[in-house]
Structure 1
Amino acid sequence: MLKSRATQVDNFLTGYLNAAAQNGEIARPERLVSAMRHGVLNGGKRIRPFFVMEIAQMLGAEEGLALYPAAGLECLHSYSLVHDDLPAMDDDELRRGKPTVHIAYDEATAILAGDALLTLAFDLTVHEKSGLLPKTQVELVRSLARDSGVGGMVGGQQLDLDNENKDAGEDMISRIHAMKTGALIRYSCEAGAIIAGSDQEERQNIRRYGELVGLAFQLADDLLDVTSDAASMGKATGKDADAGKSTLIAIHGVEWALKRLDQLVEEAESLLAPYGEKADIIRAATQFVAKRQS
């Protein structure tokens, strides 16, 4: 199902990201579009749009309603990776086993490609062809902006940079994880509830589920940075230690991290109990996030 949803999103973005100007646009520079495609259509699990689409369906949304915001979220996530890979940030040359955008093109084009993917994310979220009610679109944009901006993903990246080569405590590391990685996964889950028209109680329940999955995702990523290799990961490993970043694994060790992952999965799955068999795919995704090997 993860592959199926990824194919849906990839097919949509392949068709949308072409040289033909959309309604209201003046022109699309060919090199910029090519760099955008390189940044977003280069593989990846599409776990964030998967959660948007599958949680919306679990909660009773009409099939297809989640596609535009799910694709928009993948654009936003991809913009963050394009910018994170820049020399001024993480200075990475590989992403998903391929040259990063600034290596394949140039640094200026990579910055512009990231900018364009970010703005496209909001365009798709409120797209006139999405089938979503204006009220739903407003709720999605508000939540996406707050989870991806200064108080969410971008703020988390700043805190991560601020704490390089410092002995960051466990509270700060957890805050960085919750913001830099967790906030966007939290949004991906809550977005499904917004699309399905859930009430506030259900939205908060699903949002909390997303928080836990986000923490598990980052902890699993940190484990892979320690235990995996570049060929398996499709990017450089050992980067945290090289960059002088404090991690929970450095503080507590691998065995603690494995036990903590089990705790996060257990708590997250407990929030899915009210949905019975309808949540089976989401339960499987919870396990996948924690146990993935790449």
Structure 2
Amino acid sequence: MVVQHETFIAKYKDLLERELAASIHKLNAPQALKGAMLYSLTAGGKRIRPILLFAAIDAFGKNPEIGLRAACALEMVHTYSLIHDDLPSMDDDDLRRGKPTNHKIFGEALAILAGDGLLTYSFQLISEDEHIDDQLKIWLMKMLSICAGPEGMVGGQVADIQAENQELHLRELEYIHQHKTGRLLTYSVMAGAKIAGATEEELDLFEKYSQHLGLAFQISDDILDVIGDEKIIGKPIGSDRDKKKSTYPSLLSLEGARDHLAFHIQGAKETLSKTNLKTDLLEYLTDVVAGRDR
């Protein structure tokens, strides 16, 4: 079964990579801008968010390729957020996925515009999708706006910046990560489910699953910032500590953070079991999140 899941991931990751590059190459835009967009968009990574979207469609027995445009749009929004996150005015990072960050190669102005281009182009991609009807396009664009915008990722990023050099309560830390990281993961699985024709009850369960998954994802990231290998995860270890950020290990201890991670992994899987769908691939991806090396 593991081999089958890895084959699925490899197949749809390759499909995604080719579609992402093709989508940028066909743009009638300045070459410098396209180069900066492509640099970060094709820099690698596990593509967990689009793979989750494909896996959610697969859980309903539908062809995951019907979600290709939505998956590309999602990855573009995620990549824009990383470009902007790395800027000197934000996290001021020099490395991303083992490579110099966008602004280190192209300069701050073009990096900002590359992020802007990816964000806005993502909605164009969904609007031009010939495989879905207009009502679904509206739902996907509205939900992406919510999850990526002020009520989602951007709001979480603001809360994260304001929390620097402060010791947070666990509830405050979870708010940051439910929004900064978790909302795009929520979009990943809910968009896939919606594309596949999920009922409202099924969408509710997928949302609850994603909430557990989002926190597990961030807890794992915090743990890796303490014990990870810089060569594997592609960014400096201990950066959260150096920036005096509250993290799960700093609030709960490393062992406590691991216990919290296990709690959310279990909660995610228990929620999946209530859907009565074929969710073994999503369960496998949940375990990937728990032990991820990015």
Corresponding residue number in structure 2 for 1:9: 16
Q: RMSD of the TM alignment (CA)? A: 1.3
Note the alpha carbon deviations across 1:132-179, whole angstroms, 9 max, x for none: 111111111111110110011001000000010011211110100100
How far off its partner does 1:276 sit?
5.8
User: What does residue range 180-259 of structure 1 map to in structure 2 within 5 Å?
Assistant: 180-259=180-259
Structure 2: state its 5+ residue gaps: 1-7
Separation of aligned partners in 2, 1:81 and 1:292: 18
Q: Secondary structure of the residue that 1:89 maps to in structure 2?
A: coil
Contact 1:265 1:287 in 2 (8 A): yes
Separation of aligned partners in 2, 1:4 and 1:217: 23
Contact 1:178 1:211 in 2 (8 A): yes
Corresponding residue number in structure 2 for 1:150: 150
Kindly, what percent of the aligned residue pairs are identical?
Answer: 38
Q: Which amino acid aligns with 2:36?
A: A
Q: Secondary structure of the residue that 2:132 maps to in structure 1?
A: coil
Contact 1:156 1:180 in 2 (8 A): yes
Corresponding residue number in structure 1 for 2:75: 74
Note the alpha carbon deviations across 1:253-283, whole angstroms, 9 max, x for none: 1111111111111111112214567211111
Q: Secondary structure of the residue that 2:278 maps to in structure 1?
A: helix
Q: Which amino acid aligns with 1:192?
A: G
Judged with a 3 Å threshold, the aligned counterparts in structure 2 of structure 1 residues 187 and 128 are, in CA distance, closer, same or farther, namely: closer
Separation of aligned partners in 2, 1:32 and 1:202: 40
Corresponding residue number in structure 2 for 1:160: 160
TM-score by length of structure 1 reads 0.94
User: What does residue range 24-103 of structure 1 map to in structure 2 within 5 Å?
Assistant: 27-103=28-104
Separation of aligned partners in 1, 2:229 and 2:191: 33
Corresponding residue number in structure 2 for 1:123: 124
Contact 1:153 1:180 in 2 (8 A): yes
Contact 1:92 1:100 in 2 (8 A): yes
Contact 1:2 1:47 in 2 (8 A): no
Contact 1:153 1:184 in 2 (8 A): yes
Separation of aligned partners in 1, 2:197 and 2:278: 17
Contact 2:153 2:179 in 1 (8 A): yes
Note the alpha carbon deviations across 1:189-248, whole angstroms, 9 max, x for none: 110111012111110100111111110000000000011132121012211111111112
Judged with a 3 Å threshold, the aligned counterparts in structure 2 of structure 1 residues 278 and 57 are, in CA distance, closer, same or farther, namely: same
How many residue pairs match? The answer is 287
Separation of aligned partners in 2, 1:93 and 1:290: 26
